[in-house]
């Protein structure tokens, strides 16, 4: 084997071509997130083929190994806005590569309430990006957040009122067609006229329905869940500041076990007490962490103009300065892992489950979200310092796509 490899190297040198050799498996070594044992992960043809237990003597005791993070709500990254007018495949490539650096190996680019033609146009671009040989494997599907949400201020959050509308199945099918059937998740308001039959149609067509940006009554919410809605989008956000203490959209979603909420645990969108309560009620196997990051995430602090909106990027969040409401987050999901551990005292194993295993299960991505033989080798190697995840290496489909060295 050694002779053959030497020969290939010599030949590639003579022909001046790059021939990629299989990754050296010894580089995927570390403390397994789920049981704290020291392991080396074996991979072949993009799959995990073995987990070898190693003696921890003389090994780096700081590095953990976990399945790559899966973010099902992310609006853009590093200046690339998935809902923006200038989206290109190269932009999606830039965002995807930047996400690899923070441990995200799969994500759902999220398009929010916009002009329908823009929505279709951008999904068509994302559908092409999904087929791209370099980045396509990291784009697991798409999330459409809106336009069928509450038009009421507070509940609509940063979504532009003029584009908000009632659910329209024919229109959604056209959007889904433009997306080449890539939309796996839709966020909508259950109290809107026609919402319940719309939800049934989505579920029949395999799209997961999340309730969000809504002011549904307990009855609306129950009907939506009976029709197949399974998630609550960023529970505790997308809601007015002043609500009735008994009758509000939060309790019915929290109390029904059929709902798995997503939460923005960036340390700013929810209080510590809210995060702890949601975690205690839903448990670690029924919560999903999302970043809800805006494209401004990763850019310098300051005022930005995005389309028809003025946005203020602070070190921690993005705000709409005129209405003084949150417009979105400025942190990747890797930060939410550390905040979750800090706020709830949950283990790394549980935090990773909420940021990888649970979203994989929710969307039946059976080859992702775990380190087990047969799963796709989407693996991150990282250290934890003061509840902050620092990614050292990222592998997608067995290939190293990021290394900090």
* Site of interaction with Zn ion (CB under 5 A): 238
Q: Which is nearer to Zn ion, 292 or 350 (CB)?
A: 292
Cβ-closest residue to Zn ion? 238
Nearest distance in Å: CB 238, Zn ion: 5
Nearest distance in Å: CB 52, Zn ion: 43
Q: Which residues contact 363 (CB under 8 A, 6 or more apart)?
A: 72, 140, 141, 184, 185, 208
Nearest distance in Å: CB 258, Zn ion: 21
Q: Which is nearer to Zn ion, 91 or 238 (CB)?
A: 238
Nearest distance in Å: CB 64, Zn ion: 31
Nearest distance in Å: CB 213, Zn ion: 6
Q: Which is nearer to Zn ion, 88 or 153 (CB)?
A: 153
d(CA 304, CA 292): 18
Q: Which is nearer to Zn ion, 30 or 238 (CB)?
A: 238
Residues paired with residue 313 on neighbouring β-strands, in sequence order: 302, 318
Nearest distance in Å: CB 308, Zn ion: 17
* 254 CB burial (10 A radius; 0-12, 13-18, 19+): middle
d(CA 193, CA 3): 70
Q: Which is nearer to Zn ion, 103 or 238 (CB)?
A: 238
Q: Which is nearer to Zn ion, 112 or 140 (CB)?
A: 112
Grouping H, G, I as helix, E, B as strand and the rest as coil, residue 270 is: coil
d(CA 116, CA 41): 45
Nearest distance in Å: CB 98, Zn ion: 21
Q: Which is nearer to Zn ion, 266 or 378 (CB)?
A: 266
DSSP string, 177-233: HHTTT-EEEEEE-TTSTTHHHHHHHHHHTT-EEEE-S----HHHHHHHHHTT--EET
CA torsion 266-268-273-276 (nearest 10°) is -10
- The secondary structure of residue 135, as a DSSP letter, is T
């Amino acid at each position: 084997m050694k002779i053959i490899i030497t020969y290939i190297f010599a030949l590639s040198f003579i022909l001046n071509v790059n021939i990629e050799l299989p990754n050296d498996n010894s580089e995927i070594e570390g403390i397994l997130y789920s049981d704290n044992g020291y392991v080396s992960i074996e991979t072949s043809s993009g799959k995990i083929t073995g987990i070898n237990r190693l003696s921890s003597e003389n090994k780096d005791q700081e590095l953990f190994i976990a399945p790559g993070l899966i973010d099902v709500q992310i609006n853009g990254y590093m200046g690339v806005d998935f809902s923006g007018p200038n989206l290109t495949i190269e932009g999606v490539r830039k965002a995807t590569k930047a996400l690899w650096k923070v441990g995200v190996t799969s994500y759902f680019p999220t398009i929010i309430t916009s002009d329908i033609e823009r929505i279709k146009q951008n999904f068509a671009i994302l559908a092409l990006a999904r087929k791209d040989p370099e980045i396509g494997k990291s784009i697991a599907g798409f999330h459409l957040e809106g336009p069928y949400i509450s038009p009421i201020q507070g509940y609509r959050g940063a979504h532009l009122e003029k584009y908000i509308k009632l659910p329209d199945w024919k229109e959604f099918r056209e959007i889904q067609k433009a997306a080449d059937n890539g939309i796996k998740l839709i966020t909508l308001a259950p109290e809107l006229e026609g919402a319940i039959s719309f939800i049934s149609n989505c579920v029949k067509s395999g799209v997961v329905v999340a309730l969000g940006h809504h002011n549904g009554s307990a009855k609306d919410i129950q009907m939506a869940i009976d029709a197949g809605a399974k998630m609550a989008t960023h529970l505790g956000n997308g809601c007015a500041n002043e609500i009735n203490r008994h009758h509000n959209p939060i309790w019915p979603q929290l109390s029904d076990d059929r709902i798995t909420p997503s939460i923005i645990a960036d340390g700013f969108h929810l209080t510590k007490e809210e995060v702890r309560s949601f975690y205690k009620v839903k448990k670690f196997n029924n919560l999903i962490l999302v970043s809800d990051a805006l494209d401004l995430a990763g850019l310098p602090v300051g005022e930005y103009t995005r389309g028809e909106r003025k946005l203020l990027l602070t070190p921690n969040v993005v705000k709409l300065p005129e209405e003084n409401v949150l417009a979105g987050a400025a942190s990747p999901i890797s930060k939410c892992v550390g905040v979750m551990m800090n706020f709830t005292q949950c283990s790394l194993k549980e935090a990773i489950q909420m940021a990888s295993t649970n979203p994989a299960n929710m969307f039946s991505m059976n080859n992702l979200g775990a380190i087990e033989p047969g799963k796709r080798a989407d693996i991150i190697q990282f250290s934890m310092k003061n509840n902050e995840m620092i990614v050292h290496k990222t592998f997608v489909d067995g290939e190293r796509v990021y290394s900090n060295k």
